[in-house]
Amino acid sequence: MGQVRIIVIDDEINICKSVSACLTPEGYDVSMHTCANAAIKAMHIHYFDLAIIDIRLGQKSGIELYQQMKQEQVDLPTIFISGNASLDEAACTLKLGAYDFLEKPFNAERFIVTVNNCVAFHQMRSKLNVLEQTQAEQALIGEHKLIQSLRTTIKKVANNNVNVLITGESGTGKELIAQAIHDNSQRATQNIVIVNCSAIPENLFESALFGHIKGAFTGADKHKKGYFEMAEQGTLFLDEIADIPLSVQATLLRALEYKEIQKVGSDQVTKVDIRLLAASHKNLKELVETGNFREDLYYRLNVIPVQSPSLRERKSDIILLANYFVRQISQRHGMSNRTIEPSCLSMLTSYDWPGNVRELHNTIERMLIMGGKTLTCADLPHEIVYISSGKVSESNQLSLKDHLRFVERELIIKRLEEYQGNITKVAASLALDRSYLHKKLIQHEIKRDQSFK
């Protein structure tokens, strides 16, 4: 496992230094903070395995900081320390979920044993969480032959320590595939570090991937680990790898070939042990042909190609997925006994889902929040109702302009029905001026008293 990172928060810098001097020889990477606000910011930016917090921190108590961590979903095993805390405060820390409480000055040997036990305990808990996750959460949901074949491929490649390139449209679950490969591999109890390459500024790519040393560039005020080191003995997943600049691709290729990295600003080489998974919704082969992606890097990544099928290729799974999302999302939001009408499921199946599984999930969640106990066609977004109704698809000779005209007409009619012909309310709901709506009624030959008065 990679080096365990510990954040120490105490308003006395000498205490921070004492803790660091005690733990650093044991192989721990210690980050020191004397300000609670700075510490919580660091927790959001950097990964830590353990927090050691003083109960008395000046303006903000350690207990308040711990409660803030919980509210902001910074879930770190925590050991509290204090030289003058009351028994009630000590008891409070344990009730809130802290691992232990130690009084200052503490015995160095006992302190190290407590830290070692805390780290070991939470590593074991992480392993158990992996093992106890349900099959539905671990698997890619579906019974279509494409998804069955995908699950078989995942099992075959999981324990072979080779690079895998996952391709497919946006929203098809490429990150889920990477997670499944990691979870079924021998590295499952180690970290999987997930990196969205499209979110990294071009000038920071090398630092993000390989780290940098203090003074490497303006703003580099301390040493920083890169994603390769964070994934040590685990898995590194580079999503949207097509967005890595050409200038960095050669360095990435070398890191993969020789299993070593060089931090920005350093002349030292560091060996790394990671398993690389990469994904892209773009066609990397075409990018290679146009000179926008290195051919040698492409073949290094594409040892095992895995294709994530689009949802329209496995429409028979839509009902299964929709019902699964209803149960999953209902439980998360504290809703009970939610169901979908068969006619609504039929509409969902008829739609092509350009956003794939992600779009289906988001649609179901919106319907559950806005709808009642039983989801009906009335809860569906308008564009799904119109496109799935079959009226558009029956006229397959229509141009794009005519398709858009049809959808616009159907939407206006729907709103007129909803507001019983009240032009003011219909115009407001469509964010249109009344005069412009009147023009649209004439253009589409819609009569206000046609079916609503």
* pLDDT in the model for residue 389: 64
Report pLDDT for 32. 95
Predicted confidence at residue 132, as pLDDT, reads 42
Return the biggest CA–CA distance within the chain: 86
**Residue range 98-114, pLDDT digits in tens:** 888 888 888 888 899 99
Whole-prediction pTM value?
0.59
3-state per-residue secondary structure call for 198-260: HHCCHHHHHHHHHCECCCCCCCCCCCECCHHHHCCCCEEEEECHHHCCHHHHHHHHHHHHHCE
pLDDT greater than 60 at residue 450: no
Q: Which residues of 108-144 are buried (b: 16+ CB within 10 A; e: fewer)?
A: eeebbebbeebbeebbeeeeeeeeeeeeeeeebbbeb
Q: In the chain, what are the domains? A: 5-132 (3.40.50.2300), 139-307 (3.40.50.300), 314-443 (1.10.8.60)
Which of 272 and 405 is assigned the larger pLDDT? Answer: 272
CA gap 121, 171 in Å, rounded: 36
Confidence of residue 283 (pLDDT cuts 50, 70, 90): very high
Query: What pLDDT, on the 0 to 100 scale, is given for residue 2?
Result: 62
123-135 pLDDT, tens digit each: 766 655 544 444 3
Answer yes or no: is pLDDT of 377 > 50.
yes
Paired residues of 264 in beta bridges: 212
In the predicted structure, residue 402 carries a pLDDT above the cut 60: no
Could you tell me what percent of the chain has a pLDDT over 70? 89
Average pLDDT, stretch 356-375? 91
Residue 194: beta bridge partners? 237
Which pLDDT band holds residue 372 (cuts at 50, 70, 90)?
confident
Report the pLDDT value the prediction gives residue 136, as an integer from 0 to 100. 36
Mean pLDDT of the chain: 85
Residue 133, pLDDT score: 46
Phi, psi of 364, deg, nearest 5: -60, -40
The mean per-residue pLDDT over the stretch 312-339 comes to 88
Exposed e or buried b per residue across 87-96, where buried means at least 16 C-beta atoms within 10 angstroms of its C-beta: eebbebbeee
According to the model, what pLDDT value does residue 290 have?
Answer: 95
Nearest to 426 by CA among 435, 436, 437: 437
**How confident is the model over 294-303, as pLDDT tens digits?**
999 999 999 9
User: What's at 355, amino acid-wise?
Assistant: G
Burial class (CB in 10 A: 0-12, 13-18, 19+), 355: middle
| pLDDT value at residue 333 | 85
Return the closest-CA partner of residue 307 out of 417, 433, 177. Answer: 177
The confidence score (pLDDT) of residue 83 equals 82
Where residue 334 falls (left for φ over 0; alpha for ψ -120 to 50; beta otherwise) is: left
